[in-house]
Structure 1
Amino acid sequence: MTLIPTLETERLVLRAPEARDIAPFAAFYASDRSSFVGGPLTAEGSWRMLAMEIGHWTLKGFGRWIVEDKASGDIVGMVGLFEPEGWPEAEIGWDLFNGFEGKGYATEAGRAARDYAYDILGWQTAISLVKSGNDGSAAVARRLGARPDGTFTHERHGTMAIWRHPAPKELADGGCEAYA
């Protein structure tokens, strides 16, 4: 089993998924908000999705974290690294649960996940996949310095825009986030 590290930002804790996350995870996947990421799903489908997220860590050595607000303890979403079978390359992804959008959580957690990918895992590039109409997710990618880089068509999720993140060297050389 892979040990899932805990990351902290100014406002957030990114931690391993746990059994206590099933209810908020299922509530998100039961909602229309999940339509951009494979939902809506039944409770059984949500359970399987969470099990896949946990299993991704074992199969790939990286994955997505549950994101908690430090001040309130609220579970605000799931953010992290993703590269399942059928994906074009390694992705940084974010799913904010209902009521937590518009607070900068996805950008803050996405930056922490990307830092982990670049600094700890040694990635030299990363993408984010964004479905058409998911303007909030595209805005997060843009705030992280990612740029449109074509499209990808997945067998279940359809066509998605590829957003390419700045490479580690670009960030270190004074790119858009070097002084953020």
Structure 2
Amino acid sequence: MIAPTLSNATVTLRPHRVEDMEPYWAFFCSPRAALMDRPSSPTHLWYGFASEVGSWVLQGQGGWAVETPDGRLAGQIAVSQPPHFPEREIGWFLLDGFEGMGLAHAAATLARDWAFDALKADSLVSYIHRDNARSIRLAERLGAVRDDAADRHDDTDVVYRHRRVH
């Protein structure tokens, strides 16, 4: 399985392409990624990037590239559960210059709703660095609630729980 293409009026979620790696590497080298687990080299970026793509084959879930309506790469959204994550996560990042346009909210809504429908998930979590106020605000705008009882893979993270509304 490859990532399905999903879209609404604001964004398109599409399968990754190898050319996405260059802007992702620039993002991870920037201060914008300071509160994220980030690769230490292009080789490590390749491992993470390939795992986002390969997770579709292995688990039926993974990462999408986020594109604007005019086809510009704006970031990534992922629904995944690598072995070190206690639960299935929805996570995101936007490249520089794409904040404040509703792209992250639109992308996360598409991915979350896809996970609830296609994967029959009742709950997703977002592991967010405790100092990442923008991501915390996005999780809250999506209706997620902080879950201090949830297991986390990193002691610096807080966990926000997204629940399916029946």
TM-score for both structures, normalised by structure 1: 0.85
Which amino acid in 1 is paired with 2:88? A
Report the CA distance between 1:10 and its aligned residue.
1.0
Aligned match of 1:116: 114
Q: Deviations over 1:47-82 (max 9, x none)?
A: 2221121122122111110000012x2111000201
Superposed counterparts of 1:1-180, under 5 Å: 2-39=1-38, 41-71=40-70, 73-150=71-148, 152-154=151-153, 157-169=154-166
1:126 counterpart SS class? strand
User: Does 1 or 2 have the higher relative contact order (CA < 8 Å, sep 6+)?
Assistant: 2
Cα distance between partner residues in 2 of 1:107 and 1:15: 16
Distance 1:122 1:52 in 2: 22
Find the aligned partners of 1:67 and 1:163 in 2 and give their Cα distance: 22
What one-letter code is carried by the residue in structure 1 that aligns with 2:6?
L
- Determine if contact 2:130/2:158 at 8 Å carries over to the other structure: yes
The percent of aligned pairs where both chains have the same amino acid is: 36
Specify every segment of 5 or more residues in structure 2 that has no aligned partner in the other structure, as ranges: none
Structure 2 counterpart of 1:159, one-letter code? T
State the 1:123 CA deviation.
0.8
Is residue 152–residue 159 contact of structure 2 (8 Å, CA) maintained in 1?
no
Distance in 1 (alpha carbons) for counterparts of 2:9 and 2:38: 30
Q: How many residues align?
A: 165
In structure 1, stretches of 5+ residues that fail to align are 170-180
Structure 1 residue 37, shift from structure 2 partner: 2.4
Letter in structure 1 aligned against 2:81: E
> What is residue 175 of structure 1 aligned with on the other side?
none
Q: CA RMSD in A?
A: 1.5
- Aligned equivalents of 1:4, 1:116: Cα separation in 2: 11
TM-score (normalised: structure 2): 0.92
**Cα distance between partner residues in 1 of 2:47 and 2:97:** 23
* Contact residue 12 and residue 70 of structure 1 kept, 8 A: yes
User: Using the alignment, how far apart are the partners of 2:152 and 2:140 within structure 1?
Assistant: 21
